[in-house]
Copies of this chain bind each other. A is one copy, B any other.
Amino acid sequence: MIARATDGSGNRDTLNRERVVRAAAELADERGIDSVTMRELGRRLGVEAASLYNHVTGKDDLLSGMADLAAAEIDLPSIDVDWKEAMRRRAVSAREAFGRHRWASGLMDSRKWSGPYSLYYADRVLGTLINAGFSPVIASWAFIGIDSYIYGFERQRSNLSMSEDVDTVEVAQETLAAIPQGALPSLAAVAMEYAEKPYDEAAAFEFGLDLILDSLERQLEADSATRR
């Protein structure tokens, strides 16, 4: 008799934390993180906003749950693979996850990074690097460096309005047209390139990623040569 019990989700039993969090993530995917309000989420679940507090301690808890959901989509490096390849896969899969859930990277900013899962995650990353021969401190710096790059790149995505659904050729042409003759020559030069060949986001991401990984590799080689 109750609509919620048999609605489209195919989930026939009552509300619980997981269903609430999942619905919030879907809402954010479809209409942006700002539209995730307790009232709107309640509406989506056929329930009053106040009822959500039976399954989630508050909005903060809800957002943490959403962040966990997205984090779980990022590949854990497997111990037995080459460290460079492992870091590469991790970075690429993170970028893909953030592409699917544009709200995720911003959410991980504010939320503390200390759940049991993220500790395990950190251990695996650090373990991969230490196994490869990096000292614990250098491994931690490398971890921080790679992650900084991953999250920072995601930030730029929305920033320069160079998301996938934007015609970068068009943006470049408009930028070019807006620049007064002779002013900003370097920016004009770049815009001229992109007016012909569109901006390849994945290529840009991997270019920067490889700058970091190549330097790390070189440092590892130099270090083992010294010890020999």
A1 interface residue per 8 A CB criterion: no
A190 interface residue per 8 A CB criterion: yes
Given known contacts A136-B193, A159-B109, A123 and B186 CB-to-CB distance under 8 angstroms: yes
CB–CB B151/A155 < 8 A: yes
Given known contacts A141-B208, A149-B148, A211-B211, A187 and B126 CB-to-CB distance under 8 angstroms: yes
Bound Cα distance A179, B222 (Å):
33
Interface residue tally on A, bucketed by range: 35 or more
**Contact segment of A20-28, A40-48, A56-64, A212-220:** A212-220
User: What is the distance, in angstroms, from A200's C-beta to the closest C-beta of chain B?
Assistant: 9
CB–CB B190/A136 < 8 A: yes
**Contact segment of A10-18, A81-89, A112-120:** A112-120
> Which residue numbers of A lie inside 8 Å of B, CB to CB?
106, 108-110, 112-114, 119-120, 122-124, 126-127, 130, 136-142, 144-145, 147-153, 155-156, 158-161, 179, 184-187, 189-190, 192-194, 203-204, 207-208, 210-212, 214-216, 218-219
10 contacts across the A-B interface (CB closer than 8 A): A106-B109, A119-B179, A122-B187, A123-B184, A127-B186, A136-B192, A138-B207, A141-B207, A145-B153, A151-B151
